[in-house]
Amino acid sequence: MRRAFLLTTLLLAACGSEEPREESQSVVARTAENDLPGWLTPTDGTDPARWLAGREAGHPLPDDAPEVAAMRASLKTARTGFVEDPRMMANRTVQLGQMLAEIGKTESYRSLIDGLGGIALPRGRHKSLYGEMVQHYYNARAQGADHDGALAQLASREKPAAP
């Protein structure tokens, strides 16, 4: 229960404020070229794929690195099945990775995105919530399922309703 509360708090905090801005206020996008911030904020101009690939590598990667291209492709494919944008998906993936590491069950960010995306894609226009699916995946892993077993559990839950 405590972990669910913590996750919910983190998810809400990473979403950023949706309060209306006065016209006199301006938003300045920040791009992290030489560092890897802890999270991507709503005004962050950093490419989520580059940030996520760099986080996994442990250091910033150039935009043309193969790992960045692969992560970009994974996020692009998964994006068609989820409501959230790539920035939010990247933040949620890092959160999930940290939670899995705490229980000794690490997975690559791409395997998480590709696995969860593979479940959401068949839903077509009935997009899934990445954050919700991340929580269900984590719960399955915490209860002892391996990566494939957790994805199988999610797939059985996420089947689209018959027309």
Can you give the pLDDT at residue 123?
Answer: 78
pTM (whole model) above 0.95: no
Give the Cα-Cα-Cα angle 159, 153, 95 (nearest 5 degrees).
105
SS3 letters across 65-84: CHHHHHHHHHHHHHHCCECC
Can you give the pLDDT at residue 17?
Answer: 39
> Rounded to an integer, what distance in angstroms lies between the CA atom of residue 104 and that of residue 30?
34
**pLDDT per 10-residue tile (average), the chain, 163 residues:** 48 44 38 73 92 95 97 96 95 97 96 96 85 97 97 83 54
Can you give the pLDDT at residue 161?
Answer: 55
Can you give the pLDDT at residue 53?
Answer: 97
**Type of residue at 25:** Q
Can you give the pLDDT at residue 34?
Answer: 64
Can you give the pLDDT at residue 124?
Answer: 72
